[in-house]
Amino acid sequence: MAIHVGYEGDPATKAVAVPIYQTIAFEFDSAEHGAALFNLEVPGNIYTRIGNPTNTILEKRVAALEGGVDALSVSSGMAAIEYAIINIAELGNNIVSLPQLYGATYTLFEHILRKRGVDARFAASDLPEDVEKLIDGNTRAVFCESIGNPAGNVADIEELARVAHKHGVPLVVDNTVATPVLLRPIEYGADVVVHSMTKFMGGHGTTLGGMIVDGGKFPWRRYADKFYMFNRPEPAYHDVVYVDQFGDAAYVARCRTVCQRNTGATLSPFNGFLLLQGIETLSLRVERHVSNARKVAEFLRGHPLVEWVNYTGFPDNPLYPMAQKYLGDQRCSLLTFGVKGGFEGGRKCFNALRLFKRMVNMGDAKSLSCHPASTTHRQLTPQEQRRVGVTPEMIRLSVGIEHIDDILADLAQALEHAKA
Ligand SMILES: *Cc1c(COP(=O)(O)O)cnc(C)c1O
């Protein structure tokens, strides 16, 4: 699927690789053809802000990998998360989220959506009952990360979906860290899956992108008052009634034609092409990331200068059972650890890393390291940091696909520096 889905060849040129359709607009055969396209009565391309054939292939491919009915590619993971929410929540509504979140997602919910009148409610823990307590008649989505970044927790998607659906609310899952190779949230009841394509999906640290995958199962018709935007003529787009015209794919169709068309966080077709290149090797890369990470975790755990290692692949890790349920024996290559000597020890080790690049990213083929408290989560108060799963001494590793001997040698020499 990662290599073939969505591309049947370009009839005009017979190009084997997906072409980059670097064009803004697409020609209409006639006024009538243009009208039919705008009315979404016939498939086709209009303007790249709404859709582009290179990106369409990427969308079909990711939708297939996640087991969804359709998808929308956007310019970044953050754009995907914002659209996923504003497509269904507005002034006076609220969303309920697990507390462990990516830094910018937390800020989007806490400071930006809130000022637009969408109240973000963070559950006290990731227990489904703590989420359920916060759901009321104005709730429009439950949100979680399948694997929290950087906390590393694994969400109980099945139970969260059950709780959300009991109250007539869709579950939106950020599957960036897991990727569909490790976990497919739709199979556990998630209704919408969002991605930062920037990370493992693209995989080479070159290309920002986001994706919104529509699982196609949420009964928007049954909750026609709450989700009136899919059930009534849409004034922001030619009075289309999305459930009538798009059936199971109503959610993502509106995301494209209302959210993206009118606010414009569109993926460049060139970036779409690069992301397609990345996805071709996604499963191979993830396999290597996973096996390298396990060896790194074992190495760190056995090292006398390491205080703690948070790796859910260790049976004594409190998150082990949940991780086992959703990931089987595989674990993502994101792990955190603390060097003895507290903040200072951690800082020295971090500064001495040579192969591991010090940066704010993950999911690159290259090994990366990050100190969340001074970077991604810097603008959060210590209290907020704890709430999203960050501690001051914590170093996060995104273990790359280099040879394991080189990776372990770098960690060994950096830890020696910390001792000195
Ligand atoms: C990086 C990341 C995002 C944001 O993605 P961008 O492509 O950088 O906008 C969202 N969620 C998670 C879990 C991430 O790791």
Among 147, 153, 193, 198, name the best residue to mutate to test ligand 1's pocket (greatest count of ligand atoms within 8 A of Cβ). 198
Domain regions of the chain by residue span? 31-277, 282-419
For residue range 231-248, what is the model confidence (pLDDT) as tens digits?
Answer: 999 999 989 999 999 999
Both tokens assigned to 180: 């569909």
Matching residue, tokens 């394509």: 197
Evaluate whether 45 touches 52 at the Cβ level (below 8 Å).
Answer: yes
Both tokens assigned to 367: 């090994």
> What CATH number does the domain located at 282-419 have?
3.90.1150.10
**For residue 75, how far is the Cα from the chain centroid?**
13
Q: What is the pLDDT, as a whole number, of residue 271?
A: 98
For residue range 16-70, what is the model confidence (pLDDT) as tens digits?
Answer: 999 999 999 999 999 999 999 988 888 899 999 999 999 999 999 999 999 999 9
Tell me the CA–centroid distance for residue 320 and ligand 1, in Å: 24
- The pairing of strands 119-122 and 357-358 is unpaired
Residue 383: Cβ within 10 Å count: 7
Tell me the CA–centroid distance for residue 363 and ligand 1, in Å: 11
Q: From atom 5 of ligand 1, which residue's Cα is the shortest distance away?
A: 77
Tell me the CA–centroid distance for residue 313 and ligand 1, in Å: 23
Q: How far, in Å, CA of 418 to CA of 392, rounded?
A: 16
Tell me the CA–centroid distance for residue 133 and ligand 1, in Å: 27
Q: Which atom of ligand 1 is nearest to the CA of 101?
A: 13
- The pairing of strands 94-97 and 139-145 is parallel
* 383 pLDDT above the threshold of 90: no
Say how many CA atoms lie within 13 Å of 293 toward its Cβ.
Answer: 32
Tell me the CA–centroid distance for residue 78 and ligand 1, in Å: 6
Indicate the DSSP class of residue 98: -
Evaluate whether 221 touches 189 at the Cβ level (below 8 Å).
Answer: no
Matching residue, tokens 């055969």: 29
Q: Which residues line ligand 1 (CB under 6 A)?
A: 76-78, 102, 104-105, 145, 149, 174, 176-177, 196, 198-199, 208, 210
The size of the chain, in residues, is: 420
In the chain, what are the helix, strand and coil shares in percent, each to the nearest 5?
A: 40, 15, 45
Evaluate whether 168 touches 138 at the Cβ level (below 8 Å).
Answer: no
Alpha helices in 167-281 (DSSP H): 179-182, 228-231, 242-246, 250-254, 261-263, 269-280
Taking alpha carbons only, the member of 296, 392, 410 closest to residue 338 is 392
**What residues have CB less than 8 Å from 167, skipping those under 6 apart?**
132, 135, 139
Q: Which atom of ligand 1 is nearest to the CA of 361?
A: 1
Q: How far, in Å, CA of 309 to CA of 336, rounded?
A: 6
Share of the chain above pLDDT 70, in %: 99
Q: Which residue type occupies 60?
A: K
For residue range 313-351, what is the model confidence (pLDDT) as tens digits?
Answer: 999 999 999 999 999 999 999 999 988 887 788 888 899
Say how many CA atoms lie within 13 Å of 397 toward its Cβ.
Answer: 32
Q: How far, in Å, CA of 84 to CA of 52, rounded?
A: 20
> End-to-end distance of the chain based on CA atoms, in angstroms?
50
Evaluate whether 157 touches 171 at the Cβ level (below 8 Å).
Answer: yes
Q: What are the backbone angles phi and psi of residue 338, rounded to the nearest 5°?
A: -125, 130
Tell me the CA–centroid distance for residue 375 and ligand 1, in Å: 14
Indicate the DSSP class of residue 265: -
Taking alpha carbons only, the member of 49, 111, 57, 116 closest to residue 89 is 116
For residue range 87-135, what is the model confidence (pLDDT) as tens digits?
Answer: 999 999 999 999 999 989 999 999 999 999 999 999 999 999 999 999 9
Top-level class of domain 31-277: alpha beta
Evaluate whether 172 touches 194 at the Cβ level (below 8 Å).
Answer: yes
Q: How far, in Å, CA of 288 to CA of 404, rounded?
A: 10
Q: What is the pLDDT, as a whole number, of residue 388?
A: 67
For residue range 246-265, what is the model confidence (pLDDT) as tens digits?
Answer: 999 999 999 999 999 999 99
